[in-house]
């Protein structure tokens, strides 16, 4: 499982770097196939970019930039949230590591 997590994290990071350079569109089909293969093996990768963040959120570890407020948003994702499906149930196997800012 650790090798699979490492591979998922590397694919996620490569995709993010390509998105920063506006090149991810050229590889979208390839990334979709990779993430589909992970899902076939029971892994679900969730990118929470743009989602609301609260202290009660248990699927992410957040670094807060600026002042904390009620309207915190995830502005950057260092590592995605990864779940594993076993016997029909999803289990959190990696918390996302995110950057959060007030919006």
The yes-or-no verdict on residue 60 having pLDDT over 90 is yes
Detail the DSSP E strand segments found in 1-103. Answer: 43-46, 52-53, 60-65, 72-79, 81-86, 89-94, 96-102
pTM given for the model: 0.90
Our CA angle for 33, 74, 25, nearest 5°, is: 30
The yes-or-no verdict on residue 48 having pLDDT over 90 is yes
**Percent of the chain whose predicted confidence (pLDDT) is above 70:** 100
Q: Where are the domains of the chain?
A: 2-102
What pLDDT is stored for residue 70 in this prediction?
Answer: 85
pLDDT in tens, 11-39: 999 999 999 999 988 999 999 999 999 99
CA distance 54 to 85: 25
Q: State mean pLDDT over 45-72.
A: 93
């Amino acid at each position: 499982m650790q090798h699979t997590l490492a591979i998922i994290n590397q694919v996620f990071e490569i995709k993010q770097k390509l998105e920063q350079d506006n090149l991810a569109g050229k590889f979208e089909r390839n990334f979709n196939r990779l993430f589909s293969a992970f899902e076939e093996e029971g892994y679900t990768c969730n990118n929470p970019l743009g989602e609301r963040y609260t202290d009660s959120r248990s699927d992410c570890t957040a670094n807060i930039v600026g002042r904390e407020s009620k309207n915190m948003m995830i502005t950057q994702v260092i590592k995605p949230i990864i779940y594993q499906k076993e016997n029909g149930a999803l289990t959190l196997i990696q918390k996302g590591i995110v950057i959060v800012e007030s919006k």
